[in-house]
Structure 1
Amino acid sequence: MNTKLTLSLDDRIIKQAKEFAKQRNKSLSKLIEDYLAGISSKMPPNEQNLPPITRKLAGILKGKKEINLKNDISNFLEKKYK
Protein backbone atom coordinates (compact mmCIF):
# COMPACT_ATOMS: atom_id res chain seq x y z
CA MET A 1 0.00 0.00 0.00
CA ASN A 2 1.38 3.41 -0.93
CA THR A 3 0.88 6.38 1.39
CA LYS A 4 1.45 9.99 0.48
CA LEU A 5 4.19 11.77 2.44
CA THR A 6 4.81 15.50 2.53
CA LEU A 7 8.38 16.70 3.08
CA SER A 8 9.72 20.22 3.47
CA LEU A 9 13.15 20.52 1.86
CA ASP A 10 15.35 23.25 0.44
CA ASP A 11 14.46 24.00 -3.22
CA ARG A 12 18.06 23.44 -4.29
CA ILE A 13 18.12 19.98 -2.70
CA ILE A 14 14.86 19.04 -4.38
CA LYS A 15 16.17 20.17 -7.78
CA GLN A 16 19.38 18.17 -7.33
CA ALA A 17 17.50 15.11 -6.13
CA LYS A 18 15.13 15.23 -9.10
CA GLU A 19 18.08 15.43 -11.49
CA PHE A 20 19.79 12.54 -9.69
CA ALA A 21 16.62 10.43 -9.95
CA LYS A 22 16.16 11.34 -13.63
CA GLN A 23 19.72 10.21 -14.44
CA ARG A 24 18.85 6.84 -12.94
CA ASN A 25 15.50 6.56 -14.70
CA LYS A 26 13.65 6.60 -11.39
CA SER A 27 11.01 8.80 -9.88
CA LEU A 28 11.99 10.89 -6.90
CA SER A 29 9.48 8.92 -4.84
CA LYS A 30 11.11 5.61 -5.82
CA LEU A 31 14.57 7.00 -5.11
CA ILE A 32 13.53 8.08 -1.62
CA GLU A 33 11.69 4.82 -1.00
CA ASP A 34 14.81 2.82 -1.98
CA TYR A 35 16.98 4.99 0.26
CA LEU A 36 14.69 4.64 3.26
CA ALA A 37 14.40 0.88 2.72
CA GLY A 38 18.18 0.64 2.62
CA ILE A 39 18.80 2.53 5.83
CA SER A 40 16.03 0.82 7.73
CA SER A 41 16.83 -2.74 6.69
CA LYS A 42 17.94 -5.24 9.27
CA MET A 43 20.99 -6.36 7.34
CA PRO A 44 24.37 -6.33 9.07
CA PRO A 45 26.15 -2.96 8.62
CA ASN A 46 28.85 -4.43 6.34
CA GLU A 47 26.24 -5.62 3.82
CA GLN A 48 23.80 -2.75 4.20
CA ASN A 49 25.04 -0.64 1.31
CA LEU A 50 25.73 -3.43 -1.17
CA PRO A 51 23.76 -3.64 -4.41
CA PRO A 52 21.50 -6.73 -4.70
CA ILE A 53 23.80 -8.56 -7.15
CA THR A 54 26.76 -8.09 -4.81
CA ARG A 55 24.74 -9.36 -1.86
CA LYS A 56 23.92 -12.51 -3.87
CA LEU A 57 27.61 -13.12 -4.53
CA ALA A 58 28.75 -12.34 -0.99
CA GLY A 59 30.10 -15.41 0.75
CA ILE A 60 30.80 -17.56 -2.29
CA LEU A 61 34.46 -17.72 -1.31
CA LYS A 62 33.80 -18.91 2.23
CA GLY A 63 36.53 -21.13 3.52
CA LYS A 64 39.19 -19.48 1.37
CA LYS A 65 41.39 -17.69 3.87
CA GLU A 66 43.56 -15.68 1.50
CA ILE A 67 43.01 -14.59 -2.08
CA ASN A 68 46.00 -14.03 -4.32
CA LEU A 69 44.34 -12.93 -7.55
CA LYS A 70 47.50 -12.98 -9.67
CA ASN A 71 48.39 -16.47 -8.48
CA ASP A 72 44.82 -17.76 -8.85
CA ILE A 73 44.58 -16.45 -12.43
CA SER A 74 47.96 -17.93 -13.28
CA ASN A 75 46.95 -21.35 -11.90
CA PHE A 76 43.64 -21.23 -13.76
CA LEU A 77 45.30 -20.41 -17.08
CA GLU A 78 47.95 -23.12 -16.61
CA LYS A 79 45.23 -25.74 -16.04
CA LYS A 80 43.11 -24.43 -18.91
CA TYR A 81 45.88 -24.53 -21.52
CA LYS A 82 47.62 -27.79 -20.54
Structure 2
Amino acid sequence: MDTKLTLKLDQEVIEKAKKYAAEKKISLSRMVEYYLKSLTVEENNDDFEISPFVKSISTGKSIPADVDYKKEYSDYLIEKYK
Protein backbone atom coordinates (compact mmCIF):
# COMPACT_ATOMS: atom_id res chain seq x y z
CA MET A 1 0.00 0.00 0.00
CA ASP A 2 1.43 3.36 -1.01
CA THR A 3 1.43 6.21 1.50
CA LYS A 4 2.19 9.87 0.86
CA LEU A 5 5.39 11.32 2.34
CA THR A 6 6.49 14.96 2.33
CA LEU A 7 10.22 15.74 2.26
CA LYS A 8 12.12 19.02 2.42
CA LEU A 9 15.24 18.92 0.24
CA ASP A 10 17.62 21.38 -1.36
CA GLN A 11 16.15 22.64 -4.66
CA GLU A 12 19.31 21.78 -6.61
CA VAL A 13 19.22 18.21 -5.30
CA ILE A 14 15.57 17.88 -6.33
CA GLU A 15 16.27 19.16 -9.85
CA LYS A 16 19.20 16.79 -10.34
CA ALA A 17 17.22 13.87 -8.94
CA LYS A 18 14.28 14.60 -11.25
CA LYS A 19 16.61 14.71 -14.25
CA TYR A 20 18.25 11.43 -13.22
CA ALA A 21 14.87 9.76 -12.66
CA ALA A 22 13.62 10.94 -16.06
CA GLU A 23 16.74 9.56 -17.77
CA LYS A 24 16.15 6.20 -16.07
CA LYS A 25 12.42 6.32 -16.93
CA ILE A 26 11.38 5.95 -13.28
CA SER A 27 9.38 8.23 -11.04
CA LEU A 28 11.21 10.20 -8.39
CA SER A 29 8.94 8.66 -5.77
CA ARG A 30 9.85 5.14 -6.89
CA MET A 31 13.53 6.02 -6.97
CA VAL A 32 13.40 7.30 -3.38
CA GLU A 33 11.44 4.21 -2.36
CA TYR A 34 14.06 1.88 -3.88
CA TYR A 35 16.87 3.81 -2.19
CA LEU A 36 15.20 3.67 1.22
CA LYS A 37 14.46 -0.01 0.70
CA SER A 38 18.13 -0.63 -0.12
CA LEU A 39 19.10 0.97 3.19
CA THR A 40 16.66 -1.05 5.24
CA VAL A 41 16.68 -4.46 3.55
CA GLU A 42 18.03 -7.35 5.59
CA GLU A 43 21.25 -8.99 4.37
CA ASN A 44 19.62 -12.38 3.78
CA ASN A 45 16.66 -11.02 1.83
CA ASP A 46 16.91 -12.10 -1.82
CA ASP A 47 13.96 -9.98 -2.99
CA PHE A 48 16.05 -6.87 -3.45
CA GLU A 49 19.74 -6.91 -4.28
CA ILE A 50 22.06 -3.93 -4.44
CA SER A 51 24.51 -4.13 -7.32
CA PRO A 52 28.25 -4.19 -6.54
CA PHE A 53 28.62 -0.85 -8.33
CA VAL A 54 26.07 0.84 -6.09
CA LYS A 55 27.68 -0.73 -3.01
CA SER A 56 31.06 0.62 -4.11
CA ILE A 57 29.62 4.12 -4.39
CA SER A 58 28.07 3.96 -0.94
CA THR A 59 31.32 2.82 0.69
CA GLY A 60 33.26 5.77 -0.68
CA LYS A 61 35.53 3.79 -3.00
CA SER A 62 36.45 5.78 -6.08
CA ILE A 63 37.52 4.85 -9.57
CA PRO A 64 40.64 6.68 -10.76
CA ALA A 65 39.94 9.18 -13.55
CA ASP A 66 42.75 7.82 -15.72
CA VAL A 67 41.53 4.19 -15.81
CA ASP A 68 41.72 2.67 -19.30
CA TYR A 69 38.44 0.72 -19.23
CA LYS A 70 39.02 -0.93 -22.60
CA LYS A 71 42.43 -2.24 -21.56
CA GLU A 72 41.10 -3.42 -18.18
CA TYR A 73 38.26 -5.29 -19.87
CA SER A 74 40.57 -6.72 -22.52
CA ASP A 75 42.98 -7.96 -19.83
CA TYR A 76 40.07 -9.50 -17.96
CA LEU A 77 38.85 -11.37 -21.05
CA ILE A 78 42.35 -12.59 -21.91
CA GLU A 79 42.75 -13.94 -18.39
CA LYS A 80 39.26 -15.44 -18.35
CA TYR A 81 39.69 -17.38 -21.60
CA LYS A 82 43.24 -18.69 -21.11
Tell me the CA shift for residue 50 of structure 1: 1.8
**What SS does the corresponding residue of 2:81 show, helix, strand or coil?**
helix
Match of 2:50, as an amino acid? N
**Which residue of 1 is the match for residue 81 of structure 2?**
73
**Runs of at least 5 residues in structure 1 that lack an aligned partner in the other structure:** 52-68, 75-82
**What SS does the corresponding residue of 1:26 show, helix, strand or coil?**
coil
**Which residue of 1 is the match for residue 43 of structure 2?**
43
> Percent of aligned pairs with the same residue?
37
**Runs of at least 5 residues in structure 2 that lack an aligned partner in the other structure:** 53-76
Change (3 A) 1:73 1:26: same
TM-score (norm 2): 0.56
Tell me the CA shift for residue 71 of structure 1: 6.1
**Which residue of 1 is the match for residue 27 of structure 2?**
27
Q: Deviations over 1:18-62 (max 9, x none)?
A: 001001000000000010111111016xxx6327xxxxxxxxxxx
Matched residue count: 55
CA distance in 2, matches of 1:25, 1:4: 21
CA distance in 2, matches of 1:40, 1:22: 25
Tell me the CA shift for residue 73 of structure 1: 2.1
CA distance in 2, matches of 1:72, 1:16: 39
TM-score (norm 1): 0.56
